Structure 1
Amino acid sequence: MELLSAVPFVGGALGAIVPFLVVLGIVVFVHEYGHYIVGRWCGIDAEVFSVGFGPKLVGWTDRRGTHWQIAALPLGGYVRFVGDMDPASAGKADDGDLTPEQRKHAFHNARLWRRAATVAAGPMFNFILSFVIFAALALAVGRASNAPVIGELRPELAGQVDLRPGDRILAVAGQPVETFGEIIAAFVRANGAEVEVEVERDGEKLAVPVSYRLASRIDYVNPGMPASRAGLVAGDVIVAIDGQPVASFYDLQLVTAAKPAGQEIVIDVTRDGELMTFRFMPDMVERPHPVTGETQPLPTIGIRAIGLGGIDPTLEPRGLGEALESGFAQTTRIVTGTINYVGDLIFANADPGQLGGPIRIAQISGEKAEEGLMSFVYLIAIISTSIGLLNLFPIPVLDGGHLMFYAAEALRGRPVGNAAIRVGTMIGLSLVLLLMVFATYNDLARL
């Protein structure tokens, strides 16, 4: 089973290459281990388990006769089962070339459901990895409390606001507040104008002036969201949306929220002194409206400022059930978002320039590694889901293509011939390579 998940990353700093290889290595190993272990449970023997392609760097053979190896080209991986003609399982070997014991445990001689389960296990293990990571992060981080209490002030706000961690906000500009969301909404509406904030601090009630502007600087880009696919990065400063000047992040929220569904957005940013323009389609996501606070489907591009503008809420622990629900929801959200984007591409409703390739993945890997372990692990979960879904597409050479052949076998009552499998594999490989070349071209165009 071949996992064509990347092409060579050329150039770039070591700080991007190493995280990229770590991300890809983990995702590939889990994917291929899914094939291997389910195949073993189904009575199918594996000859080779390889992380990477090309010349072997290190390897060993276990007591079951499977040779485990790490190869020189970290472009994916494969499990070659007994009876496979090649790592892509594109056809089967002649039984005359196998011993009686090998024939009994050969992949092509296994019952159809066993072969299908073995093939499907790779993507399923990717989804399981994502689910486990998302759930574990939800348990470890907790969830933001909506209590009107300041949890943390980022260093960027030092000296700008006379607020302290633990302050309970009672009112902003004379208006009582009961939730943390109301605090932030009141601040961003003021948009830099000074307002009086009533706080309870150490048992005393104080009135402190706050002048707060949520700058239009992007501090975080959600991987897999439209802004990330388009090439926006942390540090970009948004200066205009659809030709309208933007002075603050609140202006950005207002303009984005007012966009009709299915309409393209054009964002002008400055990056290292250079003006750049990005065009892409927002996703529709359930979130609070920046003015009314009412939760509703709104156009969303997947960016934010530091924390909630540098002022973070307190955190409260999640229960196990809630963490598991969060893991499932986040995995499902990535799957549905990707499927919707592919559908839009097919019907020419999405910008193909948003496709990212290995260079973009390497860049994001480096950024997340710098942000810290949790951001990096979060990226692994996102990439794992994406690779799992990619491999389920019904394209010969991918796992979905194998499952398509098995569906045909179930309908015909006999296996698809080697010649048809080889032709389909060549067509599928060509399509995948063309897609990767196009995605890499997009990556180079963004540099």
Structure 2
Amino acid sequence: MPDAPGLPLTLLAFVLVLGPLVFLHEYGHYWVGRWCGVKADAFSIGFGREIIGWTDKNGTRWKIGWLQLGGYVQFAGDMSPASQPDAAWRQLPPEEQAQTFPAQPLWKRAAIVAAGPVTNFIVALLLIGGLGMAYGQPYSPPVVETIQPGSAAAEAGIMPGDRVVSVAGKPVDSFEDIQMGIFYRPGERVPLAIERGGRQQAIVIVPRVSIERDRFGNEYRIGIIGVGRAGAELAPVSLVQAPGYAIGRTGDILSLTMSTIGQVVSGRRSVKDFGGPLRIAKISGEQVTLGLFSFLSFVALMSINLGFINLLPIPMLDGGHLMFYAIEATLRRPPSRRVLDWAFGGGFAFVALIMVLFTFNDLHSFGWLNALAGLAG
């Protein structure tokens, strides 16, 4: 594609997206851990062999690994995926043991683990709020101006002048809210509430499935209903309005993310729609060519997704740790070592399987699988 960025720009953009987000995520863990009095043995951006590193006055080894697909903070005493103490930990002097992760009360361990995803959400809120203040937010009232003949809207009985009050039970304040509610529900029965002549009425609409291509050749499966608006304008976002605007947009993205996952689980959407690191790298390069607004908007989206994914109750992720802390708080004792080992081993296998599946999706969407098959043949 003539508009597609080259490989060097794609790799640079990928590092500029993922690197700072991973650093801030892990720094959230680190900062709260240090605030709780826990010593950090290592802080790494990336995995694998160390490329460069140094040790600070507190004994923390700061390093960069060669595989830039994440990072970690290793706290003192945190020597296993399940964060369970070992025999060597029990033999530490009391003053050293007090600075280790396993020695902390439950609320401190939970706060340290939750700090990473929370940091990602804070970063996203700051970016969205700042972009709103700098560029404004697109706005047009949720009023239908035109109807395409034979469209889903025409079949559902929507008429010009109708005001859409809610989509799938969620109130809408602008035409953009209607689009967001419809785009991610292609082929589904979507309840709408509309206002006509001062009266509200409920209808059900089934958005048509549309395959859209962007300028980079990426395909997207979206829902359309065939309605048009009069026009959009950029409404300014003041400093006072920015927090509410950022929280609202973040909530919308989280809602759509959970809805999309629900569609996959229920079989209404294919898992092929999900991508992995290769697709993230490709989109990062594309967004950087579209300008600062598009690129920072993508960074905010990735920050929300990173925080959300890490809060999923899957062992190996932050959410898995928090789930077991909740069990510990309920039972007044931690689950057995055997249970934790099995759970975190299974969690690791599940995460690895998902990464392989998403990478396979990436290779297929890029057409590389067919190319490899051709070479093999």
Q: TM-score, normalized by length of structure 2?
A: 0.74
Task: Kindly provide the CA deviation profile for residues 343-383 of structure 1, in whole angstroms up to 9, marking residues without a partner as x.
Answer: 22222222222111111111110011111222111111100
Q: Is the 8 A contact 1:229 1:356 kept in 2?
A: no
| Alpha-carbon offset, residue 337 of structure 1 | 0.9
Aligned position for 1:28: 22
| Alpha-carbon offset, residue 316 of structure 1 | 5.8
Q: Residues of 2 paired with 1:338 and 1:320: CA distance?
A: 27
Aligned position for 1:300: none
| The structure with more helix, counted as a fraction of residues | 2
Q: Is the 8 A contact 1:139 1:318 kept in 2?
A: yes
Task: Kindly provide the CA deviation profile for residues 56-100 of structure 1, in whole angstroms up to 9, marking residues without a partner as x.
Answer: 1121222222211111111100011111114x4543233234333
- The code of the aligned residue for 1:420 comes to V
Task: Kindly provide the CA deviation profile for residues 197-242 of structure 1, in whole angstroms up to 9, marking residues without a partner as x.
Answer: xxxxxxxxxxxxxxxxxxxxxxxxxxxx899999xxxxxxxxxx99
Note if 1:133 corresponds to 2:127: yes
Q: Residues of 2 paired with 1:382 and 1:271: CA distance?
A: 20
Aligned position for 2:223: 282
Q: Residues of 2 paired with 1:50 and 1:368: CA distance?
A: 27
- The code of the aligned residue for 1:116 comes to A
Aligned position for 1:412: 331
1:281–1:381 CA distance, 2 compared to 1 (3 A): same
State which of 376, 379, 388 in structure 1 corresponds to 2:307.
Answer: 388
- What SS class does the counterpart of residue 107 from structure 1 fall into? coil
Q: Residues of 2 paired with 1:107 and 1:93: CA distance?
A: 12
State which of 88, 97, 106 in structure 2 corresponds to 1:103.
Answer: 97
Task: Kindly provide the CA deviation profile for residues 143-202 of structure 1, in whole angstroms up to 9, marking residues without a partner as x.
Answer: 4587xxxxxxxxxxxxxxxxxxxxxxxxxxxxxxxx9x99xx69x99xxxxxxxxxxxxx
Aligned position for 1:113: 107
Aligned position for 1:38: 32
- What SS class does the counterpart of residue 72 from structure 1 fall into? strand
Q: Residues of 2 paired with 1:90 and 1:283: CA distance?
A: 48
| Alpha-carbon offset, residue 418 of structure 1 | 2.8
Q: Residues of 2 paired with 1:136 and 1:270: CA distance?
A: 26
Aligned position for 1:151: none
- What SS class does the counterpart of residue 228 from structure 2 fall into? coil
- What SS class does the counterpart of residue 65 from structure 2 fall into? strand
Alignment of 1:268-417 (within 5 A): 280=221, 282=223, 289-290=227-228, 313=233, 317-417=236-336
Alignment of 1:83-232 (within 5 A): 83-86=77-80, 88-94=81-87, 95-143=89-137
Aligned position for 2:158: none
Aligned position for 1:245: none
Q: Gaps (5+ residues) in structure 1? A: 1-11, 147-178, 190-224, 231-240, 243-258, 294-307
1:229–1:24 CA distance, 2 compared to 1 (3 A): farther
- What SS class does the counterpart of residue 108 from structure 1 fall into? coil
Q: Residues of 2 paired with 1:263 and 1:228: CA distance?
A: 8
- The code of the aligned residue for 1:44 comes to V
1:227–1:14 CA distance, 2 compared to 1 (3 A): farther
1:271–1:29 CA distance, 2 compared to 1 (3 A): closer
Identity %: 38
Q: Gaps (5+ residues) in structure 2? A: 1-5, 149-179, 188-202, 367-377
Aligned position for 1:160: none
| Alpha-carbon offset, residue 268 of structure 1 | 6.9
| Number of corresponding residues | 314
Note if 1:425 corresponds to 2:344: yes
RMSD of aligned Cα (Å): 3.5
- The code of the aligned residue for 1:445 comes to H
| Alpha-carbon offset, residue 111 of structure 1 | 0.3
1:75–1:269 CA distance, 2 compared to 1 (3 A): closer
Q: Residues of 2 paired with 1:440 and 1:227: CA distance?
A: 28
Aligned position for 1:82: 76
Q: TM-score, normalized by length of structure 1?
A: 0.63
Note if 1:64 corresponds to 2:46: no
- What SS class does the counterpart of residue 46 from structure 2 fall into? strand
Task: Kindly provide the CA deviation profile for residues 11-66 of structure 1, in whole angstroms up to 9, marking residues without a partner as x.
Answer: x8122111111111111011111111111112222111111111111212222222
| Alpha-carbon offset, residue 281 of structure 1 | 5.6
Q: Residues of 2 paired with 1:16 and 1:365: CA distance?
A: 6
Q: Is the 8 A contact 1:135 1:326 kept in 2?
A: yes
| Alpha-carbon offset, residue 263 of structure 1 | 5.3
- What SS class does the counterpart of residue 109 from structure 1 fall into? coil
Q: Residues of 2 paired with 1:400 and 1:283: CA distance?
A: 35
- What SS class does the counterpart of residue 248 from structure 2 fall into? helix
Q: Residues of 1 paired with 2:352 and 2:181: CA distance?
A: 23
- The code of the aligned residue for 1:104 comes to A
Q: Residues of 2 paired with 1:226 and 1:398: CA distance?
A: 29
- What SS class does the counterpart of residue 363 from structure 1 fall into? helix
Q: Is the 8 A contact 1:226 1:282 kept in 2?
A: no
Q: Is the 8 A contact 1:262 1:281 kept in 2?
A: no
- What SS class does the counterpart of residue 68 from structure 1 fall into? strand
